[in-house]
Amino acid sequence: MVKIGRSLLVCLLCWRGICLAEPAQENVAPIKLGVLAPQGAAVCQALWNPTAAYLSDCLKDHTVKIIPLSYADVYSGVANRQVDFILLNPSLYVEMEAKYGISAILTLRNSRSRGGQTLYGGTIFCRDDNHAISTMRDLKGKRFLAVNENSFGGWFAVWREFHDQGINPYRDFKTLEFDSETRTVVDAVRDGHVEAGSVRAGEIERLIAAGELKDTVLRIIERRHDAGYPLMHSTRLYPEWPLAKMRHTPTDLSKRLSMCLMALSSDSQAARHGDYSGWITPLNYRSVHECLMDLRLAPYEEHGRVSLPEALRQHWPWVLSTMFLLVLLIVIAFTVLRLNAKLTQTSKRLHAELSERRRMEQERERLIQELQESLAKVKTLSGLIPICSNCKKIRDDRGYWHQVEEYIHEHTDAEFSHGLCRECARKLYPELTSDEK
C-alpha cells in the first residue's frame, strides 16, 4: 500500500509538472533578430519577416522577431541587450566585436548574381561621355556623391582605394555628399548633378536588370576583374554581411538557429523575399579589419598612436637609456658651454693685452725714432781737445789751429754772439769804464 501510494504521488507530481510546463513554453520571450536597415524599417520588415517566420517554424519552441536598426540604433541595441542576434555590415560587426564581444555565426550569401556571392565591394562610376575622368586621380576637384557615410561597400571600401592613391576625398573633392538611396546617387551622376559617385557592387546591375537604367549611360572607373566575381566593382572584395550572436545569447540556441538557416534553400520564400540565396559558415573578416586600420575608423581610431603611459610600459628600457643619454648630453653641453664662455673671456682678455702691448711697442718705437731723430740733430764734442795755453786756439785732426768759436761752431750747432766782459772792457776801453770806479 505504501509503495502504491508513493507511485501515485510521483505520477501526480509529474502530471502537475507537465501541466505547469506547457503554459511556460507559451510565455518564452521571442528571439530578437536585429537587422541593419539602411533603407528604413518598413523595407527591412518586408525583406526579413519571411525569414523570421521560417525560423520560428524551424525552432518550434521559439518565435523570432525582426528588429530593424538604423546605423545609430545598432550601438544602443547591442550595448543594452535589445537583440539576441544581429545582421549588419562588416565594418559595424568588427566594431561591435571589439567593443561588446559579439561573434559571427554565419555569413550571408547574396543573390546579386547567379549562384550567389559571399564577397562584395564598391563601384565608382561616372557618365560614359565624361572624358575628363578616366582614373580615380581625375576625381580631384570634382563633385562626388556616395551612399550613406557609414556604408561599408558603398563608401568605406571606396575610401580605402582613394587613400591608397593619396587622395583625401574630404579635402581633394570639390564637394563630397552622401545619400542613403542608391537610386538617388545613380540618378545624380546620370543627370550630371555630380561628376561621379559610388554604390555597393551589384546595385548598377540590379537597376539595369529592372529596366531603370540603360547599360550604356555609366562607366565604371578603374574597374577590377577578380576571378569568379562577375559584378562590376572598383575596389577590393570583402566578406558579405555576417550574422552574429550577442555575448548573452546561449550557444546551443545559436547553433540551432545556424542549422536552420544553413538548411534554407535558395528558392524558398524566405530567401526570395530577403534577396539572398543562403548562408555559409562565417568567413574571415581580417580584410575588413585592415581596411578600418588604414582609414583609422572604429575600433582603430588610435591605430598607430600609442599613449605615453603605454609607450613607457612597452619600451621602458629604451626610454630609461634615452633619458640617461639625454641627461649626459645636457651635462656635456653645459660643460662645453661653460668652457667656451671661459675661453671667450680669456681670448678677449688676451686680445686686449696684445692690443695694449702692440700699442706700447708702437709708442716705444715712436719714442726711439723721435730720440734718434733728435740725436741726429745734436752734435757733441768729446774726447781730448788740444788747445793753446796762451791764445786759446784749438788744433783740429789735420793739425790746423782754429779760433775756439770757429772750432765749436764747426763741430756743434752752437752759435756765438760777441760781447766784452768787465775786465776786458776796462782793459780795452778804459775811457768808457773810468766812471765805474
| CA 345/CA 219 separation, integer angstroms | 78
- State the pLDDT at residue 16: 42
Mean pLDDT of 407-416: 73
> Helix 251-262 vs helix 41-59: angle between axes, to the nearest 10 degrees?
100
Tens digits of per-residue pLDDT, 43-56? 999 999 999 999 99
Confidence of residue 316 (pLDDT cuts 50, 70, 90): confident
* Percentage of residues in the chain having pLDDT higher than 90: 63
| Range with lowest mean pLDDT among 85-89, 154-158, 285-289, 329-333 | 329-333
Exposed, middle or buried by CB within 10 Å (0-12, 13-18, 19+), for 37?
A: buried
Residue 110 forms beta bridges with which residues?
A: 117, 276
| CA 258/CA 102 separation, integer angstroms | 15
- State the pLDDT at residue 405: 77
Place of cell 702691448: 357
Q: Which residues contact 189 (CB under 8 A, 6 or more apart)?
A: 125, 126, 127, 145, 195, 196, 197, 218
- State the pLDDT at residue 387: 84
Residue 67 forms beta bridges with which residues?
A: 34
Strand-strand pairing, 196-200 and 143-146? parallel
Residue 125 forms beta bridges with which residues?
A: 197, 220
- State the pLDDT at residue 22: 40
| Range with lowest mean pLDDT among 1-5, 97-101, 265-269, 411-415 | 1-5
Here the cell at position 41 is 524599417
Q: Is 415 helix (H, G, I), strand (E, B) or coil?
A: coil
Q: Is the pLDDT of residue 292 over 90?
A: yes
- State the pLDDT at residue 114: 62
Q: Is the pLDDT of residue 159 over 90?
A: yes
Place of cell 564637394: 175
| CA 134/CA 70 separation, integer angstroms | 35
Q: Is 93 helix (H, G, I), strand (E, B) or coil?
A: helix
Here the cell at position 148 is 550613406
> Number of H helices and number of E strands within the chain?
16, 15
Q: Which residues contact 3 (CB under 8 A, 6 or more apart)?
A: none
Mean pLDDT of 247-259: 97
Mean pLDDT of 396-405: 80
- State the pLDDT at residue 336: 93
Main-chain dihedrals φ then ψ at residue 244, nearest 5 degrees? -120, 150
Q: Which residue has the higher pLDDT, 22 or 28?
A: 28
Contact present, 170 and 176 (Cβ < 8 Å)? yes
Q: Is the pLDDT of residue 5 over 70?
A: no
Place of cell 752759435: 415
- State the pLDDT at residue 428: 77
Please report how many Cα atoms fall inside a 13 Å half-sphere around the Cα of residue 255, on the Cβ side: 3
Main-chain dihedrals φ then ψ at residue 11, nearest 5 degrees? -60, -40
Nearest one of 303, 38, 288 to 156, comparing CA atoms? 288
Confidence of residue 89 (pLDDT cuts 50, 70, 90): very high
Q: Is the pLDDT of residue 157 over 80?
A: yes
Main-chain dihedrals φ then ψ at residue 168, nearest 5 degrees? -105, 100
Q: Which residue has the higher pLDDT, 155 or 27?
A: 155
Angle at 382 between CA 380 and CA 387, to 5 degrees: 110
Q: Is the pLDDT of residue 401 over 70?
A: yes
What is the helix (H) or strand (E) element at residue 351, kind and residue range?
A: helix 316-377
Nearest one of 131, 127, 163, 128 to 145, comparing CA atoms? 127
Q: Which residues contact 106 (CB under 8 A, 6 or more apart)?
A: 242, 243, 258, 261, 262, 279, 280, 281, 282
Per-chain mean pLDDT for the chain: 87
Cα dihedral sign for 409, 413, 419, 421?
negative
Give the largest CA-CA distance in the chain: 209
DSSP string for residues in 126-140: EETT-TT-SSGGGGT
Contact present, 113 and 230 (Cβ < 8 Å)? yes
CA dihedral angle for residue 249, residue 252, residue 256, residue 262, rounded to 10 degrees = 80
| CA 231/CA 225 separation, integer angstroms | 9
- State the pLDDT at residue 8: 43
Angle at 349 between CA 347 and CA 352, to 5 degrees: 110
Here the cell at position 149 is 557615410
CA dihedral angle for residue 262, residue 54, residue 256, residue 103, rounded to 10 degrees = 70
